[in-house]
Amino acid sequence: MDPIITVDELTKQFRDGTTALDGLHLTIPRGVIYGLLGPNGAGKTTLIRILATLLRPDAGTARVAGYDVARHPAAVRDRIGLAGQFAALDDHLTGRENIAMIGRLYGLSRREANVRTEQVLQRIHLDDAADRQVKTYSGGMRRRIDLAACLIGRPQVLFLDEPTTGVDPASRQDLWQPPNTSTKPTNSPTASPSSTTAACSPKAPPPNSKTAPAAPSSN
């Protein structure tokens, strides 16, 4: 079976001259949680931003779920979820509303979005607080809502950039359970508790060929 992610000679230098990635090679098989470990500034977030089509590489290639990130960014976006290093939520909405909104942006019907919202809320055990505005949440609660929101579209690949930062030890253990056990038990990836930044790829059917290129930023 093809790897879910392949990276070849990937290079990124920022305008100020900082080289974040210098000829990186990486192959990640399907059905695993893959941890990227490295000191501050090693280039982990830069790699994830490139794989998630938010940043354009200077050289080299990267394929995610069968698609080249530079040539078919929209096809890649259709197949991934991303919880960035800092939670991206609307403070004025409740946790439940934030998740449902992301579901709608993924193209789910209102009913589907509501059903999936309940499923992913159960996964992160935040039912009691789900109807409070996010601005009243603790840092760890925000992280958990952010994670739930990126699971809602049943992504083939889930990028988690330091997902356990600010999360208490019990929730941290819970978070490392396979992310989609509550919805697709047969596709569960294996878990690696030592991972701080992970790309997780449940086994998934080959992607179809619909694509719609879009332009990521160059810096």
Which residue, 13 or 85, is less far from Mg ion as judged by CB? 85
Least Å distance, CB 48 to ligand ATP, is 8
- Residue 14 contacts which entry, ligand ATP, Mg ion, none (Cβ below 5-8 A, type-dependent): ligand ATP
- 142 vs 154, which CB is nearer to Mg ion? 142
The CB-of-113 to ligand ATP minimum distance in angstroms stands at 31
Q: 48: burial class by Cβ within 10 Å (0-12, 13-18, 19+)?
A: buried
Residues that bind ligand ATP (CB under 6 A): 14, 16, 18, 20, 38, 40-46, 85, 219
16 binds, among ligand ATP, Mg ion, none (CB under 5 to 8 A by kind): ligand ATP
CB of 174 to ligand ATP, least distance (A): 23
Per-residue binding string, Mg ion, 16-55, x by CB under 5 A, is: ----------------------------xx----------
User: Which spans of this chain sit near Mg ion (rule: CB under 5 A)?
Assistant: 44-45, 85
